[in-house]
Amino acid sequence: MNAKDNVIASLVAVLGTELPADKIAELLEVPKSSKLGDYAFPTFSLAKVRRQAPPLIAQSLVAAIDQTGYEQVVATGAYVNFFLDKSAFAQDILTTVLTAGEHYGDSDLGAGGNVPIDMSSPNIAKPMSMGHLRSTVIGNSLAKIYSKIGYHPYKINYLGDWGTQFGKLIVAYHKWGSEAEIKADPIGNLLKYYVRFHKEAETDPALDDEGRLWFKKLEDGDPEATHLWEWFRGLSLAEFNKIYQRLGVEFDSDNGEAYYNDKMDPVVQELTDKHLLQESQGAQIVDLTAEGLTPALIKRSDGATLYITRDLAAAIDRYNKFHFAKSLYVVGSEQTEHFKQLKAVLEKMGHTWAQDIVHVPFGLITKDGKKLSTRKGNVVLLDKVLDDAVDLAKAQIAAKNPDLANADQVAHQVGVGAVIFHDLKNDRLDSFDFSLQEVVRFEGETGPYVQYTNARAQSILRKAGTKLDLTTSKLALTDPQAWDVLKYLADFPNIIKRAATEYEPSVVAKFALRLAKAFNKYYANSKILVADDELNARLALVSAVSQVLQAALDLLGVQAPAEM
Ligand code: ARG
């Protein structure tokens, strides 16, 4: 039981049925200053029923509360202030963390429910964008967080490998492309053709028609179109895989849009049978006026299917496969309307499970205040970002720790970790302007700072060289400097749950920063390696901090080198 639960239990014991435990948990505050205690319970909500002034209620509660396990419990105005017994708390939390090991914070909230996570999902024949990077790292972190609380995540890379753009690309390749160019730099040149296509189509609209025609051919299985498409797809996937490998992200499936090409007929049939399809200017649509949404375009007048048609087939397929507890889609906030339409159509079809579909949107990354756009060629190349970050890490290591044994591997862990952490530390809906300088900054609120704090803890433990004694009495830590650190350690299980309910890895990242900061403050103000009675308890604290920092970094998909 953690400290907060203890306080809740103490209050339940004296309040009985007057206030339920969850209500107490909601009311309980953490005072701004620890001079006012570790937890404070406001009595205002009891005043009406008791017909008593809040300060009097606070006093009578204090008189009734069993004070064992607390330093003191006092009434201050309308509040009951709880001061935890610090050494008992330290014993309790250090035992819990160190005996649970990597399982500290695990729970079975999810009861084994399946959670498919649609993530990354870049588009073939284009470079992976910053948006896809965000989706990849947020999705990967959510998978880890959900797994820790007892769900079964399935990471799905729903590749954008189908749609009119492939018709356009084929036209562009026929007109301006060459095999040699593509072999030399696949994505670079495919992008070049694509950009040129859009530029020329501005003055020559016939190009668009030609593009649509070729996509139709592709949908109908035309051998030349299929051959080119497979070629483009294979080359692109190989490039994407290089990035995934560097990021340390793996998928359970990369069934993308094309996989659903032959699985849409039953969906269209179902829509027809349920009288949901309407004709509008030759196209087939589902009217969503009642839902306050624009109509969902299911089939174009030439019979070609659309993005949402494939998403409908994919959503149904996922439900049939997984009977999911939740189905997540980590996709930029600019697609909010699309996912509202998707859910609305599924609900109209009578699929009650549509309510468990969750769009997890995130904010836009701009560059110099402008939207990044593949079409306009205004892109940030991810490979380059990772290269630069790793180079910078290498330079830092060479300056600070020139004798480090596996410097290249550590530079990779630190450089890539910096990029991932930078992406995850802000609330996911916040938009930010991309600046490489900012991403690879190693001071302040960054991944390398957290990694460095863990490495420092590891180095203290190496220097101490002793084995920890986990006997409870040997874990009593009285140093007030350690107090914040202990409270953060105790908070980790709640942090994980909050990150999960809010679909927000930043909750974990911000926690890691707080814990690292508190630990560095402790380190600056206390002598750890002094042979006295509390040495074992201090080392236990250092060990617990390192363990929880590593666990937090792992939940973010960031590695934790033991030395750097
Ligand atoms: N490929 C799409 C894009 O880059 C994202 C796909 C998101 N997932 C989905 N099921 N629609 O915009």
Contact between residue 553 and residue 450 where contact means Cβ atoms under 8 Å apart: yes
Q: Is 306 in the pocket of ligand 1 (CB under 6 A)?
A: no
CA distance 10 to 17: 13
Distance 122 CA to ligand 1 centre (A): 7
Q: Which atom from ligand 1 is nearest to the alpha carbon of 307?
A: 11
CA 98 vs CA 273, 520, 533, 545: distances in Å: 59, 20, 19, 10
List, for residues 166-209, the tens digit of each pLDDT value.
Answer: 999 999 999 999 999 999 998 889 989 988 999 999 999 999 99
Q: Is 362 in the pocket of ligand 1 (CB under 6 A)?
A: no
Distance 435 CA to ligand 1 centre (A): 25
Distance 515 CA to ligand 1 centre (A): 35
CA distance 101 to 98: 5
Tell me, what's the pLDDT at 375? 62
List, for residues 251-265, the tens digit of each pLDDT value.
Answer: 999 999 999 988 999
Q: Is 118 in the pocket of ligand 1 (CB under 6 A)?
A: yes
Which of 313, 375, 15, 365 has the alpha carbon at shortest distance from 172? 375
Q: Which atom from ligand 1 is nearest to the alpha carbon of 339?
A: 11
Distance 331 CA to ligand 1 centre (A): 6
Task: Please report which confidence band the pLDDT of residue 315 belongs to, taking 50, 70 and 90 as the band edges.
Answer: very high
Distance 121 CA to ligand 1 centre (A): 5
> Any bridge partners for residue 285, and if so which?
278, 297
Task: Please report which confidence band the pLDDT of residue 377 belongs to, taking 50, 70 and 90 as the band edges.
Answer: low
List, for residues 71-116, the tens digit of each pLDDT value.
Answer: 999 999 999 999 999 888 999 999 999 999 999 999 999 999 999 9
Q: Is 329 in the pocket of ligand 1 (CB under 6 A)?
A: yes
Distance 158 CA to ligand 1 centre (A): 7
Mean per-residue pLDDT over the chain, rounded? 93
Task: Please report which confidence band the pLDDT of residue 3 belongs to, taking 50, 70 and 90 as the band edges.
Answer: confident
Q: Whose CA is nearest to atom 6 of ligand 1?
A: 121
CA distance 80 to 40: 6
Tell me, what's the pLDDT at 46? 94
User: Identity (one letter) of the amino acid at 422?
Assistant: H
Tell me, what's the pLDDT at 374? 65
List, for residues 136-167, the tens digit of each pLDDT value.
Answer: 999 999 999 999 999 999 999 999 999 888 99
Tell me, what's the pLDDT at 251? 98
Q: Which atom from ligand 1 is nearest to the alpha carbon of 131?
A: 4
**For residue 57, with 0-12 CB atoms within 10 Å meaning exposed, 13-18 middle and 19 or more buried, which class applies?**
buried
| Percent residues over pLDDT 90 in the chain | 80
Q: Which atom from ligand 1 is nearest to the alpha carbon of 160?
A: 1
Q: Is 123 in the pocket of ligand 1 (CB under 6 A)?
A: yes
3-state secondary structure of 162: coil
Looking at per-residue pLDDT, the higher value among 548 and 376 belongs to 548
Q: Whose CA is nearest to atom 1 of ligand 1?
A: 160
Distance 472 CA to ligand 1 centre (A): 52
Element (H, E) at 83: strand 79-84
Is residue 237's pLDDT more than 80?
yes
Strand residues in 289-384 grouped as ranges (E): 296-299, 327-330, 357-360, 365-367, 370-371
Tell me, what's the pLDDT at 126? 85
Tell me, what's the pLDDT at 322? 98
Q: Whose CA is nearest to atom 11 of ligand 1?
A: 311
Distance 255 CA to ligand 1 centre (A): 12
CA 561 vs CA 8, 190, 392, 449, 453: distances in Å: 39, 38, 16, 12, 10
Q: Whose CA is nearest to atom 4 of ligand 1?
A: 122
Tell me, what's the pLDDT at 76? 95
Structure tokens at 277: 């399809």
Tell me, what's the pLDDT at 547? 98
Q: Treating both helix axes as pointing N-terminal to C-terminal, what angle do 483-501 and 506-525 enclose, rounded to 10 degrees?
A: 170
Q: Is 135 in the pocket of ligand 1 (CB under 6 A)?
A: no
Distance 307 CA to ligand 1 centre (A): 9
Q: Is 560 in the pocket of ligand 1 (CB under 6 A)?
A: no
Tell me, what's the pLDDT at 26? 87
Looking at per-residue pLDDT, the higher value among 380 and 414 belongs to 414
Distance 159 CA to ligand 1 centre (A): 7
With the most atoms of ligand 1 within 8 angstroms of its CB, the residue from 124, 128, 129, 158 to mutate is 158
Task: Please report which confidence band the pLDDT of residue 376 belongs to, taking 50, 70 and 90 as the band edges.
Answer: low
With the most atoms of ligand 1 within 8 angstroms of its CB, the residue from 165, 331, 333 to mutate is 331
Q: Is 210 in the pocket of ligand 1 (CB under 6 A)?
A: no
CA distance 154 to 252: 6
Is residue 457's pLDDT more than 70?
yes
